[in-house]
Chains A and B, each alone.
Chain A
Amino acid sequence: MKSFEFILNKRNSRLTFWLMLAALLLLPFATDALFGRGWVRIVDFAMLYIMLALGLNIVVGYAGLLDLGYIAFFAVGAYCYALTGSPHLAHAFPLLFPDGVHLSFWIVMPLAALLAGGFGALLGAPTLRLRGDYLAIVTLGFGEITRIFLNNLNAPVNLTNGPQGISRIDPINVAGISLNTTQEIFSITFPSVHLYFYLFLAFTALVIFVSQRLEKSRIGRAWMAIREDEIAASAMGINTRNLKLLAFAMGAMFGGASGALFAGFQGFVSPESFSLMESIMVLCMVVLGGMGNIAGVILGGVLLALLPEVLRHSVVPLQQVLFGKTLVDPESLRMLLFGGALILMMLYRPAGLLPSRVRRRELDGDETTAEASVYDATH
């Protein structure tokens, strides 16, 4: 999980790129050998979180719109895949879909992204005039409404199967290969979690690419103008309504795409995966890593996705050794550490671990700051 370093380094040479790529390609094998297969799965989940965090970064980091219900788009993507790639709909519409719906992954994927994008615009439309706290409350409500809908849409027509969730979701099929099987390629064995890792890696790379291109474009500049001063932005001719909707929709599309991947990977979705806590978790990845900075957001995603697993695998055995029994449950310890880390961050690194380009100039003593202070001194 070192991909952020490659992006961080502006003058990355071709060599660093290939080295990073090789390291990433070997990562599942290294993880498997060092920590066991369970950890490859954890790394896979971390990739999904990175995609989510990068999507939210568009809304929060670029356009400056606080969104506390982002996980709803993840849910939309996941349920989109679950409904169109499982036997579930056979219960609701036995005549229409006797075997359920089993669309190809390559059809469902864009569908999930577009559907989530639509939901993003739907959330954006009524919140255009809201800012800050008010926007946060409305988006929080949106996230909860989505989850409650999923929880209750099992009647009158059983669409989501309620709290039981939808199971037996088709595994993702790429080029005729089901990723749920172990594959033998050039006499190297690729277990299912490895195959999913490569798929997620490809999608994460795509998400990074899209984020980078957007950041350095006319659209990205307009988003940042809205973030900095909405009134001045509109006075400069920026249609703030359309661009805010676009930010919500683009962010939601990333969420939807990663939701579809999640459903295919997990084979099961239920409303409890999409709680408010998850929204906050993704927001924390963005804030902790460094809002508006792709490398920072990736770092935040990796740290926060791995932290609970590290705790789970270290705290219980440690307590067993020390006290002979488990005194503190890792889940509550996670919240404690997490809260503490956030407080420390806000005190000492309010702009995140890897602040965005402009903020870094102020915080670190790199050459641009030196340039700025020389400039200040001479004027």
Chain B
Amino acid sequence: MPHTENVLLHTSRISKQFGGLSALSDVSLHIQRGEIYGLIGPNGAGKTTLFNVLTGLYQPSAGEFQFNGTHYQAGKPHVLAQAGIARTFQNIRLFANLTALENVMIGRHVRTRAGVFGALLHNRATRNEERAITERSRELLRYVGIEKPAQILAKHLSYGEQRRLEIARALATDPLLLALDEPAAGMNATETESLKTLVQTIRDHGITVLLIEHDVKLIMGLCDRVAVLDYGKKIAEGVPEEVRKDPAVIAAYLGQETPSSSPQGGGRGVPGGSAATLTHGGGDD
């Protein structure tokens, strides 16, 4: 365990069950300030579930996490956004009928204060705040490289632009941790490359990044540290080079039988069939 003040997010033994299915069991990991932390794993490994727990959408069945020095057993999304966790969604969830600029302006909500009376009186403080919101939002659109379509409805943007807009909207909440859920999904090689540059720039500006990705190559080239989830368990964690060579990880991705001496396995094999998947979930915790 590294120095605590360097740890931005620390999860301890988080579990999440859906009925009899255990989507996450005892996942403990820590993310340090300023790093790009990757979370990989095959389909259904529990990556997005963990994400949803950390951003308050799901209440964990057990366990808790500590973010920026505060403990959360079960958070509410807006509280965690206030605390500094911002996210994007695997299936893009923009405010489709609002313009790109308005989408980002909504991201500023949590860092601004004007209420009903401010809106009605439209006093100097409110006007200044509105101006600041607009300026900052335009700045963020420029930052992610989509300043031109500011007045276009979010749903009319191209796929890659929508992904970038989601990032801009998340950045508008002034996050400490930016959590990206499969940002490169559906992107071509060029788009992925420029996304990579963007994520690096964001990190260079001091924002810690948590990245879920399917694309192992992208993760390996981008992340400082990586955790691998499989069937809701963390099966490996470390720098990309180590993780890549880990037999349990190779087994998880290639679907081989692992030797019973695998780090977490306790004799479990990685099943190739879906029937085994279900029995595994129920009986292991």
List chain A positions with a Cβ less than 8 A from chain B.
210, 213-214, 216-222, 224-225, 228-229, 231-240, 246, 250, 358-359, 361-362, 368, 371-372, 375-376, 379
Contacts and interface: CB of A to CB of B under 8 A. Distances in A.
Contact of A222 (B93, B106, B130): B106
Given A218-B109, A221-B109, A232 B122 contact: no
Contacts of B129: 218
A371 B151 contact: yes
Contact of B119 (A219, A224, A238): A219
A218 B153 contact: no
A235 B156 contact: no
B89 A217 contact: no
Interface in B99-125: 99, 102, 105-107, 109-112, 114-116, 118-120, 122
A358 B106 contact: no
Nearest to A237: B110
Given A217-B114, A235-B55, A358 B153 contact: yes
20 contacts: A214-B119, A217-B130, A218-B119, A218-B129, A222-B106, A222-B109, A224-B95, A225-B98, A229-B94, A233-B106, A234-B56, A234-B81, A235-B55, A235-B77, A235-B87, A236-B109, A237-B111, A358-B153, A371-B151, A372-B153
Contacts of B130: 217-218
A34 B95 CA distance: 48
Contact of B116 (A214, A231, A238): A214
Given A234-B76, A376-B156, 9 more contacts: A218-B118, A218-B133, A219-B116, A224-B95, A228-B94, A231-B57, A234-B56, A250-B116, A358-B153
Range, interface on chain B? 35 or more
Contacts of B32: none
B146 to A, nearest CB: 10
Given A224-B95, A224-B98, A372-B153, A239 B116 contact: no
A228 B154 CA distance: 11
Contacts of A216: 119
B276 interface: no
